[in-house]
């Protein structure tokens, strides 16, 4: 839990402070963004083919001055670019990171010297296009300023893609046969998809793909008012080790209970 | 009759200044074009001219060197000329010592025929140089007076003035309603002949004229600032690029129409009107003109001139235009008449839903602990709270009262009011944040029980208007139509309320309301908008202010997309699909604009519609598609080009 310094400001004072920050943003938004240090990592380094790849961002201000910036790591805000290169060092920018576009605004504010901000999102679209063969890949992220052309760039991060074996191979085959693998981990928005993925989870409950599919089904159940089904799915996800969406699982469970 | 006229007889014998152009035409019945290769300055002065007074065709040419030729003692100067045209061929020459006099010729004929082109071509030799000149005219005669468009299916928006660059006329060739079977791309073109005579064959020819809205890529890739070219339409009629200029066809039931090398010809009726059908393309901003003439050879020789819009013949006569104000070609002496420019506009049909009544936008629990300090009161909640969400907000404590909330953690509520801990302990409470999406509530109760609707400004930049201030899609030749996407009954105002809509449920939420999906076709574009409340809690601007250096994150609108791009090639290949629908998070829009005291909160909707149409956006410098809070309310050229390339309804593949 975050440590909170309680404020005793009145509402008008808070607004005034905020407006001052806004003024400050505009004064310095054009400089310094590239001075932020961006690092990326993942929850693991080895992934089975088609397994979603979490990208964990760490943005740091290692300068001795305040820098106006943002930490919009969410792919739908469209402020992050991800580049992939394979063993032959052929570098490609991932064309589409999210199935959503959000008008994310008002997010640039002063980042103090020494501060660091963490966040994450997950590569889950077109994975077989960019990580088509088992092997060694490298990933780099670029965080774009929302107000200028300045960027903060990370170094290359190594990931290893392995071929699925045994049951995982069957799971991959199932997904290839019955779904659009480029969009398999996106929102389940129809009964037909629900049935396919329920079938998948029944057959391959422990595959590397299953936690993501189970969470999507839980979201679908939640939206449809099938609380019991949603809770059951979410409770299963609580035991998944190192699951990047654990906070979302917790939040959904809290709201449902 | 050809005469070589001596300087003494010719009126400009004493001329001390060049007489160029020589012929001053007294009547506007005669059109001329000039060409002159003589030096622009210095001597000799060369000139030629041709005129017609209704009876006599007269050509003159002269070379002026007299009094200005110190070098010409030993050489001859001369003027020779030929006047030609149907039934006329006259030549003459005049030669004299350069120091003696100027030379000139006068050519006359009474054999001129109506509606014919006559030219004089002269060769000039002076003491220090020479060159050629020419002049042409078209004699008056029967002709096409006007070329006009008419709708075949008149139960629709009329052909009216195009408000965009280049003016002219506009047409909406798309479907008015989803299921209609009429083809509104097909219109009628009528040429009015100057004589009310049936059976005169009129030749029609269509052109893809220059896009006047830009002179550079990506909007108009075949132009540059000095050369403008037509043949730049994005669409075509039948899948072949050869039909980019539209297609002329014989009207149903007509007889006597024939194709010819450049188009289609049809016969006049007893009113002197010849009629053809014209099928236009569907891409917004595509534009056309149609020219008509009784002279097949003449119309075959026409071409777009340097401005890419007007037409000229081989003698550089510019073809007059049927203006909407005069409804006739401006010059009455011509061999052809063209229509005004006709530009394609598209309708964007809009289905608009809104979430139902706000409910559950509060948290209730019991106060299980309380302490009072000199500056505030801290209350311990029995239920978990979203950190900071309720600052500023209010807490209603059972039997005690209502108090402002200045802060909250995951389990603690802070108020700067003095609340007796003894009284508060064990009491139930309800906690509200500051939500008031339409600013109508004198006391903030989180909008509970209030219906979610558009506000006055939600659609302020996407009105059914030709004013770019009110409709940012005007430069893309698009007009929003609020018809529910084909039926007003599609619009629903009670879609399931979701307090914080997560991206992972966005498509499902859209599917709850979207009814116009089956109406969408290439000729009936539909976008879907759902007026929603808030996005997921991390992006809903609750709390209002920064609580740490991470900044407050806000999402004003959201659009699930299938594929998007920032630019597409000039041939419109590789078009992105876009998306099916968008959300406008009305309460966050209110929060943001209140906080920063901004006036224009109508920009979120066109931004999201831009995503539906396949625009990636959200980058710096992308105007309305950028993620700036107060961006310039217009599209960048790359995005305009992409919109104008769209064939499918947004979201359709």
SS (H, E, C) A44-55: CCEEECCCCEEE
Q: Does A100 contact B505 at a Cβ distance shorter than 8 Å? A: no
How sure is the predictor about A66, in pLDDT bands with cuts at 50, 70 and 90?
confident
B contacts of A145 (beta carbons < 8 Å): 620
B635 vs B10, residue with greater confidence? B635
pLDDT value of residue A90: 85
Asked if residue B17 has pLDDT above 50, the reply is: no
Q: Does A100 contact B414 at a Cβ distance shorter than 8 Å? A: no
Burial class (CB in 10 A: 0-12, 13-18, 19+), B466: middle
pLDDT value of residue B26: 33
pLDDT value of residue B67: 55
Q: CB-CB: which of A1, A144, A189 is closest to B511?
A: A189
Of the listed ranges A45-59, B95-109, B337-351, B352-366, the one predicted with least confidence: B95-109
Q: A-B interface: how many C-beta pairs under 8 angstroms? A: 172
Mean pLDDT over A101-117 rounds to 80
pLDDT value of residue A10: 35
Q: Does B550 touch chain A (CB under 8 A)?
A: yes
Element (H, E) at A83: strand A80-85
A19 vs A250, residue with greater confidence? A250
pLDDT tens-place string over residues B266-289: 999 999 999 999 999 999 999 999
Of B303, B181, B185, B295, nearest to B238 (Cα)? B185
Q: What is the distance in angstroms between the Cα of B587 and the nearest Cα belonging to chain A?
A: 14
Which neighbouring-strand residues pair with B501? B535
Q: Does B261 touch chain A (CB under 8 A)?
A: no
Distance CA A113, CA B192 (A): 78
Asked if residue B306 has pLDDT above 60, the reply is: yes
The dihedral through the CA atoms of B549, B555, B561, B567 has a sign that is negative
Mean pLDDT over B255-266 rounds to 96
Q: Are B509 and B529 in contact (CB under 8 A)?
A: no
Asked if residue B28 has pLDDT above 50, the reply is: no
φ, ψ (nearest 5 deg) of residue B563: -155, 150
pLDDT value of residue A109: 74
Asked if residue B20 has pLDDT above 70, the reply is: no
The three-class DSSP label of residue B478 is strand
pLDDT value of residue A115: 82
Q: Does B551 contact A71 at a Cβ distance shorter than 8 Å? A: yes
Task: Name the maximum alpha-carbon separation found in chain B.
Answer: 128
A139 vs B598, residue with greater confidence? A139
Q: Does B547 contact A4 at a Cβ distance shorter than 8 Å? A: yes
Asked if residue B32 has pLDDT above 70, the reply is: no
How sure is the predictor about B12, in pLDDT bands with cuts at 50, 70 and 90?
very low
Q: CB-CB: which of A10, A11, A103 is closest to B555?
A: A103
Residues present in chain A in total: 257
pLDDT value of residue B630: 84
pLDDT tens-place string over residues B628-645: 888 999 999 999 999 999
Bond before B430 cis per omega within 30 degrees = no
Q: CB-CB: which of B547, B548, B564 is closest to A101?
A: B564
DSSP code of residue A72: -
A88 CB neighbour count, 10 Å cutoff: 7
Element (H, E) at B421: helix B421-424
Q: Does A240 touch chain B (CB under 8 A)?
A: no
Q: Does A223 contact B416 at a Cβ distance shorter than 8 Å? A: no
Cβ-Cβ contacts under 8 Å for A229 (sequence gap 6 or more): A217, A218, A221
In chain B, DSSP finds a helix count (H) and a strand count (E) of 6, 35
Q: What is the distance in angstroms between the Cα of A11 and the nearest Cα belonging to chain B?
A: 6
Asked if residue B349 has pLDDT above 80, the reply is: yes
Of the listed ranges A24-28, B328-332, B535-539, the one predicted with least confidence: A24-28
Q: Does A224 touch chain B (CB under 8 A)?
A: yes
Q: Does B504 contact A187 at a Cβ distance shorter than 8 Å? A: yes
pLDDT value of residue A26: 37
pLDDT value of residue B41: 59
Which neighbouring-strand residues pair with B554? A105, B540
Q: In chain B, what is the straight-line distance between the N-terminal and C-terminal CA atoms, in Å?
A: 72
Residue keyed to tokens 């005049």: B94
Q: B11-14 long-range CB contacts below 8 Å, 24 or more apart?
A: B12/B62, B12/B64, B12/B102, B12/B104, B13/B66, B13/B101, B13/B102
Asked if residue B72 has pLDDT above 60, the reply is: no
Asked if residue B564 has pLDDT above 80, the reply is: yes
Which neighbouring-strand residues pair with B33? B136
Q: Are B319 and B311 in contact (CB under 8 A)?
A: yes
Mean pLDDT over A213-240 rounds to 96
B contacts of A226 (beta carbons < 8 Å): none
Q: What is the distance in angstroms between the Cα of A254 and the nearest Cα belonging to chain B?
A: 9
- The torsion angle over the Cα atoms of residues A131, A134, A137 and A142, rounded to 10 degrees, is 20
How sure is the predictor about B98, in pLDDT bands with cuts at 50, 70 and 90?
confident
Q: What is the distance in angstroms between the Cα of A45 and the nearest Cα belonging to chain B?
A: 26
The three-class DSSP label of residue B200 is coil
The three-class DSSP label of residue B49 is strand
pLDDT value of residue B263: 97
A contacts of B561 (beta carbons < 8 Å): 99-101
Q: CB-CB: which of A15, A99, A145 is closest to B620?
A: A145
How sure is the predictor about A18, in pLDDT bands with cuts at 50, 70 and 90?
very low
Mean pLDDT over B557-584 rounds to 96
B contacts of A22 (beta carbons < 8 Å): 596
- Phi-psi category of residue A89: left, alpha or beta, with phi > 0 → left and psi -120 to 50 → alpha: left
B contacts of A77 (beta carbons < 8 Å): 555, 618, 627
Asked if residue B326 has pLDDT above 50, the reply is: yes
Structure tokens at B89: 């061929």
Q: Does B627 touch chain A (CB under 8 A)?
A: yes
- Structural Rg of chain A based on CA atoms: 21
A contacts of B596 (beta carbons < 8 Å): 19, 22, 106
Between vectors from CA A136 to CA A131 and to CA A137, what angle results, nearest 5°?
A: 55
How sure is the predictor about B66, in pLDDT bands with cuts at 50, 70 and 90?
low
Q: Does A24 touch chain B (CB under 8 A)?
A: no
Which chain A residue's Cα is nearest to B501? A223
Q: Does B503 touch chain A (CB under 8 A)?
A: yes
Q: Does A2 contact B548 at a Cβ distance shorter than 8 Å? A: yes
Asked if residue B222 has pLDDT above 50, the reply is: yes
H-type helices in B100-225, by residue range? Answer: none
How sure is the predictor about B35, in pLDDT bands with cuts at 50, 70 and 90?
low
| Residue percentage of chain B with pLDDT more than 90 | 71
Q: Are B140 and B115 in contact (CB under 8 A)?
A: yes
Of B336, B282, B323, B309, nearest to B169 (Cα)? B323
Of the listed ranges A14-28, B29-43, B330-344, B595-609, the one predicted with least confidence: A14-28
Distance CA A31, CA A65 (A): 12
Q: What is the distance in angstroms between the Cα of A233 and the nearest Cα belonging to chain B?
A: 15
pLDDT value of residue B40: 57
Asked if residue B11 has pLDDT above 60, the reply is: no
pLDDT tens-place string over residues B423-458: 999 999 999 988 888 888 777 788 999 999 999 999
Distance CA A79, CA A145 (A): 7
Asked if residue A15 has pLDDT above 80, the reply is: no
* Beta strands per DSSP E along B199-357: 201-208, 247-249, 258-260, 263-267, 273-279, 287-293, 303-304, 311-312, 337-338, 342-344, 346-354
Residues present in chain B in total: 653
Mean pLDDT over B40-68 rounds to 82
Residue keyed to tokens 């002329």: B248
- For B153, B176, B345, B580, B652, the CA distances from B482, given in Å and listed in that order, are 22, 12, 16, 16, 20
Distance CA A32, CA B604 (A): 28
């Amino acid at each position: 839990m975050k440590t909170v310094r309680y404020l005793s400001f009145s509402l008008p004072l808070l607004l005034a402070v905020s407006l001052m920050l806004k003024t400050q943003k505009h004064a310095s938004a054009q400089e310094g963004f590239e001075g932020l240090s961006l690092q990326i990592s993942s929850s693991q380094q080895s992934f089975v083919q088609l397994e979603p790849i979490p990208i964990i961002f760490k943005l740091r201000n290692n300068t001795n001055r305040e820098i106006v910036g943002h930490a919009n790591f969410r792919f739908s805000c469209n402020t992050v670019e991800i580049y992939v290169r394979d063993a032959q060092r052929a570098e490609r920018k991932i064309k589409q990171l999210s199935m959503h576009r959000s008008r994310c605004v008002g997010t640039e504010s002063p980042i103090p010297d020494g501060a660091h901000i963490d966040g994450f999102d997950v590569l889950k679209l077109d994975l077989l296009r960019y990580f088509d063969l088992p092997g060694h890949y490298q990933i780099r992220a670029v965080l774009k300023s929302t107000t200028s052309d300045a960027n903060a760039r990370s170094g290359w991060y190594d990931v290893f893609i392995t071929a699925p074996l045994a049951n995982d191979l069957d799971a991959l085959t199932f997904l290839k046969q019955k779904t659009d693998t480029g969009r398999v981990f996106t929102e389940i928005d129809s009964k037909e998809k629900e049935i396919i993925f329920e079938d998948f989870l029944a057959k391959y409950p422990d595959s590397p793909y299953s936690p993501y599919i189970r969470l999507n089904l839980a979201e679908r159940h939640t939206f449809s008012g099938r609380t019991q089904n949603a809770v059951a799915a979410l409770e299963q996800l609580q035991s998944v080790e190192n699951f990047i969406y654990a906070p979302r699982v917790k939040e959904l469970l809290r709201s449902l209970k | 009759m050809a005469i070589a006229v001596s300087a003494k007889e010719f009126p400009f014998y004493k001329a001390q200044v060049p007489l160029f152009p020589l012929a001053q035409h007294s009547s506007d019945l005669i059109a001329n074009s000039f060409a002159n290769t003589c030096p622009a300055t210095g001597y000799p002065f060369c000139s030629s001219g041709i005129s017609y007074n209704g009876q006599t065709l007269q050509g003159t040419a002269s070379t002026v060197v007299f009094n200005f030729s110190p070098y010409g003692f030993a050489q001859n100067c001369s003027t020779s000329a030929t006047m030609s045209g149907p039934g006329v061929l006259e030549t003459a020459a005049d030669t004299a010592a350069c120091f003696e006099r100027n030379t000139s010729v006068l050519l006359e004929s009474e054999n001129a025929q109506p509606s014919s082109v006559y030219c004089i071509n002269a060769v000039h030799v002076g003491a220090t140089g020479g060159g050629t000149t020419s002049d042409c005219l078209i004699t008056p005669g029967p002709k096409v007076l006007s070329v006009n468009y008419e709708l075949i299916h008149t139960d629709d928006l009329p052909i009216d003035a195009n408000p965009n660059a280049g003016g002219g006329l506009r047409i909406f060739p798309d479907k008015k309603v989803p299921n209609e079977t009429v083809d509104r791309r097909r219109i009628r073109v009528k040429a009015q002949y100057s004589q009310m005579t049936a059976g005169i064959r009129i030749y029609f020819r269509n052109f893809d004229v220059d896009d006047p809205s830009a002179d550079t890529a990506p909007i108009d890739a075949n132009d540059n600032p000095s050369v403008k070219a037509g043949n730049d339409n994005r669409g075509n009629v039948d899948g072949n690029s050869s039909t980019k200029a539209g297609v002329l066809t014989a009207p149903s039931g007509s007889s006597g129409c024939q194709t010819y090398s450049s188009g289609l010809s049809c016969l006049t009726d007893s009113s002197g009107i010849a009629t053809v059908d014209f099928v236009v393309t569907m891409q917004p901003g595509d534009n056309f003109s149609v020219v008509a003439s009784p002279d097949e050879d003449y119309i075959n020789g026409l071409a777009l001139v340097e401005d890419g819009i007007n037409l000229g013949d081989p003698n550089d006569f510019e073809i007059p235009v049927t203006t909407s104000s005069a409804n006739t070609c401006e010059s009455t002496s011509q061999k052809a008449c063209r229509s005004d420019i006709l530009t394609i506009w598209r309708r964007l049909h809009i289905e608009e839903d809104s979430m139902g009544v706000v409910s559950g936008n509060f948290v209730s629990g019991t106060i299980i602990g309380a302490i009072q300090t000199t500056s505030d009161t801290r209350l311990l909640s029995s239920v978990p709270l979203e950190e900071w969400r309720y600052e500023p907000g209010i807490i209603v404590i059972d039997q005690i009262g209502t108090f402002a909330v200045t802060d909250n953690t995951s389990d603690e509520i802070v108020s700067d009011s003095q609340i007796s801990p003894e009284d508060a302990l064990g009491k139930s409470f309800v906690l509200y944040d500051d939500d008031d999406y339409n600013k109508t509530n004198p006391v903030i109760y989180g909008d509970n029980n209030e219906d979610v609707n558009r506000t006055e400004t939600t659609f302020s930049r996407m009105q059914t208007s030709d004013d770019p201030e009110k409709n940012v899609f005007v430069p893309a030749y698009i007009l929003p139509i609020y018809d529910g996407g084909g039926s007003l009954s599609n619009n629903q105002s009670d879609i399931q309320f979701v307090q914080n809509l997560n991206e992972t449920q966005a498509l499902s939420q859209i599917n709850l309301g979207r009814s116009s999906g089956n109406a969408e076709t290439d000729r009936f574009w539909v976008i879907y908008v759902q007026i929603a409340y808030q996005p997921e809690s991390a992006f809903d601007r609750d709390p209002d202010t920064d609580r740490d250096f991470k900044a407050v994150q806000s999402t004003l609108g959201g659009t699930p997309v299938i594929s998007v791009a920032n630019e597409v090639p000039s041939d419109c290949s590789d078009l992105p699909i876009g998306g099916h629908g968008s959300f406008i998070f009305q309460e966050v829009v209110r929060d943001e604009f209140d906080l920063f005291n901004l006036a224009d909160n109508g920009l979120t909707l066109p931004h999201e519609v831009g995503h539906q149409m396949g625009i990636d956006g959200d980058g710096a410098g992308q105007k309305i598609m950028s993620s700036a809070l107060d961006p310039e309310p217009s599209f960048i050229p790359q995005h305009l080009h992409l919109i104008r390339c769209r064939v499918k309804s947004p979201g359709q593949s």
